Amino acid sequence: MLIVMKQDASDKELNAVISRIEENGWQAKPIPGGERTAIGILRNKGPIDPALFIDMPGVRDVIPVSKPYKLVSREMKPDNTTIELSQGDNKVVIGGEQLILMAGPCAVESENQALEIAYAVKEAGAKIFRGGAFKPRSSPYSFQGLGEKGLEILAKVREETGLFIVTEATDHEVLELVEEVTDIIQLGTRNMQNYRLLRRAGQAKKPVLLKRGMWATMDEFLMAAEYIMSEGNNQVLLCERGIRTFTRHSRNTLDINAIPYMRRESHLPIVVDPSHAAGRRDQVIPLAKAAAATGVDALIVEVHNQPEKALSDGPQSLYPEQFKKLVDELRQMNISV
């Protein structure tokens, strides 16, 4: 934290700021400049709220300096984290050379539907099957997922196809159930700051795919990952899924700038969800290719065999043949899928 004093700040005002810093147990370091004095704050643990000083007499501005997170930062751990899934001989590494594809329907609707899609995406090149059993829905009148029955179907998909599973836990109790079955626990965008759920995920023994809140700054997103890691779970995947902007031509805006930024700031693997970032099928393939071009570690894509009849998010789901086309186009870009 840096406190910038006004040009005409008096010594008394300067000293009052220094006192407030010291009362909080921190150390004040005045930095006299040409026109004015600034005061650095040292020895603070965690971030300081700028507003603590902003209304003191003589203060012109207050500027945060430290990043609030530690465990997730590349500074703490310079080399990339990789996440390994294995089931017998079958092994997948996320964060290595290969772009890992996760694909499947928004919601698990029936065993037949899940298996049919699973075989299709597996053949196209997917390694991980996605599908929601517990669904957060913006309308109370919409289909809310099959619940435990959905988890059973996912277990069956895993067993029959050899695909690994990623599925969402919508609250800390649901996480208990999901954890039994899934290979990766997904936390949704609306739950990015559901702290009880984050803590519980931090106690799980499975990797956690954390979706960025559609409103979240990078600091906030990385702090949510910090919550999980602070409980002991180092297996976190950072998933960019589109942010809310003023635009109206897509449901969200894929924050493609965030990808190099996360790579710089953090050692954790990066996943992109082009389906939610688009919200409409005709933008999914371009977004997926754009993300792949930046070198992300995995994509999570909605695929449905009958999207026009899907019980949830059909309109942004690719047809299986479109997913296959996407994989072909990624390979034409010389990306190892």
The interface with its own copies within residues 172-211 (CB under 8 A) comprises 172, 190-191, 193-196, 198-199
Residues 105-144 that bind its own copies (CB under 8 A): 136-142
Considering only residues 85, 99, 258, 337, which one is a binding residue for its own copies as defined by CB under 8 A? 258
Smallest gap from residue 22 Cβ to its own copies (A):
12
Q: For residue 334, state whether it binds its own copies (rule: CB under 8 A).
A: yes
Question: Using CA atoms, how far apart are residues 48 and 27, in angstroms rounded to an integer?
Answer: 13
DSSP string computed for 215-253: T--HHHHHHHHHHHHHTT---EEEEE--B--S--SSSSB
Number of CB atoms found within 10 A of residue 207's CB? 24
Question: Using CA atoms, how far apart are residues 180 and 198, in angstroms rounded to an integer?
Answer: 17
Phi-psi category of residue 213: left, alpha or beta, with phi > 0 → left and psi -120 to 50 → alpha: beta
- Separation of first and last alpha carbons in the chain: 44
Smallest gap from residue 18 Cβ to its own copies (A):
14
Number of CB atoms found within 10 A of residue 15's CB? 13
By CB under 8 A, the count of residues binding its own copies is 107
Q: For residue 336, state whether it binds its own copies (rule: CB under 8 A).
A: no
Considering only residues 12, 25, 34, 89, which one is a binding residue for its own copies as defined by CB under 8 A? 34
Q: Give SS3 for 110.
A: coil
Cα 328–chain centre separation: 26
Considering only residues 294, 305, 324, 325, which one is a binding residue for its own copies as defined by CB under 8 A? 294
Q: Which CB, 236 or 254, lies closer to its own copies?
A: 254
Q: What single-letter amino acid sits at 84?
A: E
Considering only residues 131, 213, 269, 320, which one is a binding residue for its own copies as defined by CB under 8 A? 213
Residues 41-80 that bind its own copies (CB under 8 A): 42-43, 45-47, 49-52, 54-55, 60-61, 63-68, 75
DSSP string computed for 68-113: S--TTBTTT--SPP-EEEEETTEEEEETSSSPEEEEE-SB---HHH
Q: Which CB, 12 or 88, lies closer to its own copies?
A: 12
Smallest gap from residue 90 Cβ to its own copies (A):
30
Smallest gap from residue 93 Cβ to its own copies (A):
22
DSSP string computed for 164-198: EEEEE--SHHHHHHHHHH-SEEEE-GGGTT-HHHH
Considering only residues 4, 93, 115, 177, which one is a binding residue for its own copies as defined by CB under 8 A? 4
Q: Which CB, 8 or 89, lies closer to its own copies?
A: 8
Residues 310-329 that bind its own copies (CB under 8 A): 313-316
Considering only residues 181, 184, 187, 259, which one is a binding residue for its own copies as defined by CB under 8 A? 259
